[in-house]
Structure 1
Amino acid sequence: MVFSSETFLFLFLPLFLALYYLTPFRYRSALILAGSWTFYGWWRIDFLGLLILTTLWTYAFGRLIGANLGTRRATWACAIGTAGCLAVLGVFKYLNFFIDSFAAMLGTDAAGLGIHWHLILPIGVSFYVFQSISYLIDVYRRDASATGSFFDFAAFISLFPQLVAGPILRFKDLEDQFRDRTHTPDKFADGMARFTVGLGKKVLIADNLAPLADLAFTTPDPSAPLAWLGAAAYMLQLYFDFSGYSDMAIGLGLMMGFRFMENFQTPYISGSITEFWRRWHISLSVWLRDYLYIPLGGNRVNERRTYINLMTVMVLGGLWHGANWTFVLWGAWHGGWLAFERWTGAARAPKTVVRVLRTLLIVLIGWVAFRATNVAMAMDFYAGMMGANGWGLPIDIALQITRESLAVLVLAILLAWSEPLLNDWFGQRYHAVTPDGRVELTGTLLPALATTLIFSLSVMRLAEQSFSPFLYFQF
């Protein structure tokens, strides 16, 4: 089940919210857990078992760590618990990759090694495993308590608004909210507006850019115009798809009384790669900083070691996105630029239009490797961008580029650059105040009308298009 589907919008969500607000607060974690397991099991019931086992494992080791803080037993419990969570990723996400890479070194494939099975990647496994690991480490560091409520903890791990594509949450940030959170009409209305904006980003922008990006990346030896057009389309498709999901997740959380951390802050206006990573997929950046970069020594070590730490974190961050050498290449690209900016001091330079455009170019080049199915395809695409496959646009390709795709591409560029202003504008909501029977407008109706229009257009678009999953479901 995905957010941008009629089943979720008109069946699951209304039914869940009705039950949620009819349920006494002390039972709501159990209801969230049941709803989240139903949401996840809708896709594949067998992988729901993996989610439940990971939850039980993490809860048990969290309790063991909490009961033995300050002792070697707690250290061992944290190490074993974390290793078990990493094993889930290792088996389901990376085992096929390691087998295929080993077979390629021997000049054969997995079948040539006598291996004839292929594991399916469970949706959201990277997100709920990272949340499990952060919980164990936070309990060990005494940054979070080892909760005695299984339902609170299991609801946190399985929380359906962000279960399959983030933001990556930490129990210490939601612990108090599970014990006590407010539910107000204003918060619910804010959540609905935020969800609707995210739905529009996904359905009206990202899905309409997909054909243009797919055309470029599935055409062998693309010419320069097609390659650049496709790279730009994918750059914006990925942003509106992923930030749209994050908006929807944050909005759903607000409807249930939760406040999640922001995951994007207009990354395409960044003046450096360092700033870009403060604005893009913020929950992952913070996770990698707190649980990998700082433990490795961060920038408290000598310069050479700091650069190594940056490269290590970004390469592992690339691998987190997927078991493919293209993600290693993408991570190394960003890690190299982070190290370069630290070495030259470019990260602290004043932001200018030139610096923003340079950063966009660096990011766009990186997205090519991120999108390519293998390194050879990425290299072929880069060659096309440099004109190695010609500077013309073949007629059969040109006929497949619709005016709608080009118009949405231009619209997406304008929206990505003007998003700060739009966020402020959408924050002005309509309120009706009737202390003496009169209706007084304390805001403006325009944002409310715009939100209604976005929802209506999104639903109409959903009715006419085929199934379109979120891009980050594959990670």
Structure 2
Amino acid sequence: MLFNSLDFAVFLPLLFFLYWFVFPKNIKQQNVLLLAASYVFYGWWDWRFLSLILFSTVLDYLIGRGMDKTDDEPKRKWLLTCSILVNLGFLGFFKYYNFFTDSFTEMFSLFGQQIHPRAISIVLPVGISFYTFQTLSYSIDVYKRKLEPAKDFVSFATFVSFFPQLVAGPIERATHLLPQFYSKRKFDYALAADGTKQILWGFFKKVVIADNCAEYVNIIFQNYQEYSASTLVLGAVLFAFQIYGDFSGYSDIAIGVSRLFGFDLMKNFAFPYFSRDIAEFWRRWHISLSTWFRDYLYIPLGGSRGGLWMKIRNTFIIFLVSGFWHGANWTFVIWGALNALYFLPLMLVGKNRSNLDQAAEGKLFPTWKEAGQILVTFGLTCLAWVFFRAESVAMAIDYIANIFSASILAKPEVFPIGILALVVLFVAIEWLGKEEDFAIQSIGVKWRRPLRYGVYYGVVILIYFAGNYSNEIEFIYFQF
């Protein structure tokens, strides 16, 4: 079920009514309701893949209980290994089987050998990369004794399949989200109002910014050989706002919806396009994934504690795996490698943690130095996004090569003035709210009610009249 669908517009109010007005005082009944709603939400796409979620849930629940019942370290390690292998096995089969068979075929063909491995038509289950990592965090934390294993199966199953963040995150840690299913929830008007504003802003990002940019991004990328370099630059910039509006918009809606039901999800985006270097960008972009890789891969590999070559190795591993997590295509791997190359100089000179605060914190305007750093970082990010968006490595290289040509000074053949005006408005609002959890969280809080609600209704009007409703466009990260 898509957030930006009529189905969800009926689903959410009905669930909200049942949750708070029919089962307001019974935690178990509320959890059962959320579990059933989550399975309906996911099964709306394809009910057959509910079996995968259920299998993963039962497996990790039993493994967690098994690790709790023994102090035998080899047995506990074996149980953890079982969880990792089974979960990653499912992920590898559904997401990467054809990628590996195609890659092996191409590799052997380079040596004059023709092999014909069996190809399988595999449908990628929506959100498998997200809920797989979420359940893995549970098994690993139970093994490390950072978390008491779940004893109530319904609570655990609801944690695994919690519908707001099930298919595109944030990737929650069991230590943060699971205990919330054990505690009594009481309706909090301030929390719900804050959540509603975040949902509103998430929809603006998705249907006004991302979906409008998407139409022109598709035109430019599909016909890039026909356009001037200036148009290709515009295409890369529009894609940067498309993917940010799409993915952070989903996270805003997910976090906001969770607040309506009394839950707190982790912040997933912190205004990444205002970053002053790539290290800061990765502290602000898809925070739940980058911190997951940091805690469960980078640190166990040794982090930055070892020598120079170990630091370089670990940096490349973390970025390459991050790229590969996004999709079964070499374009994602190169996107990860390119970001590693961006990041490496900062790490080698010890500057990767230089910008821990917000740019122009407490100020309306950045300094000239900050503005220059933001523009350079955004430009490097847009260049890397070309690989993320391109259908093949050859296309990405050709696209970038065409950017660096004399036609960079030509007038763009595609210049959607209306969409660009909306993007400028969007950036301005994001900048004004950059020190909050989301851009419009505090805008107008101290204003008189008519003026404050005028702003909110203004956003609603923009969503209605400027949103792209030509069709229900799926969120980009559904494919991951």
Contact 2:142/2:149 (<8 A) preserved:
yes
- 1:165 equivalent to 2:168? Answer yes
Amino acid at match of 1:15: L
User: Could you say if the C-alpha distance between residues 114 and 321 of structure 1 is closer, same or farther in structure 2, counting changes exceeding 3 Å?
Assistant: closer
Residue 465 of structure 1 deviates from its aligned partner by 2.1
Q: 2: CA distance between counterparts of 1:444 and 1:421?
A: 23
Residue 120 of structure 1 deviates from its aligned partner by 1.3
Moved more, 304-313 or 22-31: 22-31
* Alignment partner, residue 5 of structure 2: 5
% identical equivalent positions: 39
- 1:177 equivalent to 2:180? Answer yes
Residue 428 of structure 1 deviates from its aligned partner by 5.6
Residue 18 of structure 1 deviates from its aligned partner by 1.1
Contact 2:211/2:473 (<8 A) preserved:
yes
Q: Which runs of 5+ in 1 are unaligned?
A: 431-440
Secondary structure, aligned partner of 2:166: coil
CA RMSD of aligned residues (A): 2.3
Amino acid at match of 1:196: L
Q: 2: CA distance between counterparts of 1:257 and 1:379?
A: 47
Deviation per CA, 1:80-116, whole angstroms, max 9, x where unpaired? 11111100111001111101111122339xx971524
Deviation per CA, 1:60-94, whole angstroms, max 9, x where unpaired? 11111222245221111001111111001110011
Residue 12 of structure 1 deviates from its aligned partner by 0.7
User: Could you say if the C-alpha distance between residues 195 and 359 of structure 1 is closer, same or farther in structure 2, counting changes exceeding 3 Å?
Assistant: same
Pairwise mapping of residues 364-379 of structure 1 onto structure 2 (< 5 A)? 364-379=382-397
Moved more, 84-93 or 403-412: 403-412
Secondary structure, aligned partner of 1:243: helix
Secondary structure, aligned partner of 2:434: helix
User: Could you say if the C-alpha distance between residues 370 and 442 of structure 1 is closer, same or farther in structure 2, counting changes exceeding 3 Å?
Assistant: closer
* Alignment partner, residue 466 of structure 1: 471
Deviation per CA, 1:171-200, whole angstroms, max 9, x where unpaired? 110233111134211111111111111011
Residue 52 of structure 1 deviates from its aligned partner by 1.4
Contact 2:207/2:467 (<8 A) preserved:
yes
Residue 59 of structure 1 deviates from its aligned partner by 1.3
User: Could you say if the C-alpha distance between residues 112 and 14 of structure 1 is closer, same or farther in structure 2, counting changes exceeding 3 Å?
Assistant: farther
Q: 2: CA distance between counterparts of 1:404 and 1:460?
A: 12
* Alignment partner, residue 363 of structure 2: none
* Alignment partner, residue 312 of structure 1: 317
Q: 2: CA distance between counterparts of 1:384 and 1:60?
A: 55
Moved more, 162-171 or 65-74: 65-74
Q: 1: CA distance between counterparts of 2:448 and 2:172?
A: 33
Q: 2: CA distance between counterparts of 1:175 and 1:348?
A: 31
Contact 2:210/2:241 (<8 A) preserved:
yes
Secondary structure, aligned partner of 1:165: coil
Q: 1: CA distance between counterparts of 2:171 and 2:332?
A: 19
Moved more, 115-124 or 75-84: 115-124
Moved more, 380-389 or 400-409: 400-409
Aligned residue pairs, count = 458
- 1:271 equivalent to 2:276? Answer yes
* Alignment partner, residue 121 of structure 2: 118
Moved more, 371-380 or 350-359: 350-359
Contact 2:221/2:235 (<8 A) preserved:
yes
* Alignment partner, residue 105 of structure 2: 103
Q: 2: CA distance between counterparts of 1:457 and 1:357?
A: 28
Residue 48 of structure 1 deviates from its aligned partner by 1.6
Moved more, 408-417 or 87-96: 408-417
Q: 1: CA distance between counterparts of 2:467 and 2:426?
A: 19
Q: 1: CA distance between counterparts of 2:440 and 2:397?
A: 42
Secondary structure, aligned partner of 2:169: coil
Moved more, 349-358 or 19-28: 349-358
Moved more, 457-466 or 334-343: 457-466
* Alignment partner, residue 198 of structure 1: 202
Secondary structure, aligned partner of 1:42: helix
Name which of 401, 405, 409 aligns with 2:419: 405
* Alignment partner, residue 133 of structure 1: 136
* Alignment partner, residue 365 of structure 2: none
Secondary structure, aligned partner of 1:352: helix
Contact 2:224/2:232 (<8 A) preserved:
no
- 1:256 equivalent to 2:261? Answer yes
Deviation per CA, 1:138-196, whole angstroms, max 9, x where unpaired? 00011111101111111011011001110000111023311113421111111111111
Q: 2: CA distance between counterparts of 1:406 and 1:175?
A: 42
Moved more, 67-76 or 374-383: 67-76
Residue 458 of structure 1 deviates from its aligned partner by 2.6
Residue 272 of structure 1 deviates from its aligned partner by 1.0
TM normalised by structure 1 equals 0.91
- 1:230 equivalent to 2:235? Answer yes
* Alignment partner, residue 93 of structure 2: 91
User: Could you say if the C-alpha distance between residues 153 and 442 of structure 1 is closer, same or farther in structure 2, counting changes exceeding 3 Å?
Assistant: same
Q: 2: CA distance between counterparts of 1:31 and 1:259?
A: 18
* Alignment partner, residue 52 of structure 2: 50
Contact 1:369/1:378 (<8 A) preserved:
yes
User: Could you say if the C-alpha distance between residues 128 and 388 of structure 1 is closer, same or farther in structure 2, counting changes exceeding 3 Å?
Assistant: farther
- 1:283 equivalent to 2:288? Answer yes
Q: 1: CA distance between counterparts of 2:411 and 2:371?
A: 30
Residue 201 of structure 1 deviates from its aligned partner by 0.9
Residue 460 of structure 1 deviates from its aligned partner by 5.3
* Alignment partner, residue 366 of structure 2: none
Secondary structure, aligned partner of 2:352: helix
Residue 443 of structure 1 deviates from its aligned partner by 6.1
Moved more, 380-389 or 56-65: 380-389
* Alignment partner, residue 343 of structure 2: 338
Secondary structure, aligned partner of 1:366: helix
* Alignment partner, residue 215 of structure 1: 219
